[in-house]
Amino acid sequence: MAQEIERKFRVAGEFRGEAVGAERITQGYLCSVPERTVRVRIKGSQGYLTIKGIGNETGVARYEWEQAIPLADAEALLALCEPGVIDKLRHRVPAGGHVFEVDEFFGENAGLVLAEVELSSEDEAFERPAWLGEEVTGDARYYNAVLMKQPFSRW
């Protein structure tokens, strides 16, 4: 089984000057229950289907399977998704030996900016850039599958 290990943070400062690229992402959920999510994503001109399991006690690690699918299939599957769409711009920002993925949200989640860093183990050390704010790893309110149903603008 594939394992995703990542930590998530609010962004509290300016990061764009350090970004090395950005890509628009649109995604929806075929299933968004806490025990499992099935996500359809369009990133650039490529579609993806992703299945994620429930996180461990800390929320840092969980099962993840992802497969690239044709763009036309992703567009058709998005039409079958639960109500609500996540629309965001993902910036890639190197820091130390890692690359943070910084998501700037639009639509009902406008104003929310989150950063994630993928790790090889739960206790792996990483450099904390000055713009990194409060850690929200394991806080379900910040999961995309929850933001789809309970957008940031309604908090």
* Per-residue pLDDT tens digits for 104-132: 999 999 999 999 999 999 999 999 999 99
Q: What percent of the chain has pLDDT over 70?
A: 99
- The pLDDT assigned to 154 comes to 96
**Per-residue pLDDT band at 59 (split at 50, 70, 90):** confident
Instruction: Round to whole Å and give the CA distance between 146 and 135.
Output: 17
Identified catalytic residue from 29, 48, 63, 142: 29
Instruction: Examine the pLDDT at 149 and tell me if it is beyond 90.
Output: yes
For range 37-41, the mean pLDDT: 97
Give one DSSP letter per residue of 20-76, joined into a string: -EEEEEEEEEEEEETTEEEEEEEETTEEEEEEEE---TTSSEEEEEEEEE-HHHHHH
The widest CA-to-CA distance across the chain, in whole angstroms, is 41
DSSP helix/strand/coil, 99: strand
pLDDT at 134: 98
Predicted confidence (pLDDT) at residue 151 exceeds the cutoff of 60? yes
Catalytic status, residue 29: yes
Report the C-alpha gap between 119 and 4 in whole angstroms: 8
pTM: 0.93
Asked whether the predicted pLDDT for residue 139 surpasses 70, the reply is yes
With bands split at pLDDT 50, 70 and 90, how would you rate the model's confidence at 54?
confident
The answer, yes or no, to whether residue 19 has pLDDT greater than 80, is yes
* 126-142 mean pLDDT: 96
Domains of the chain: 3-154 (2.40.320.10)
Tell me what pLDDT residue 58 has.
Answer: 82
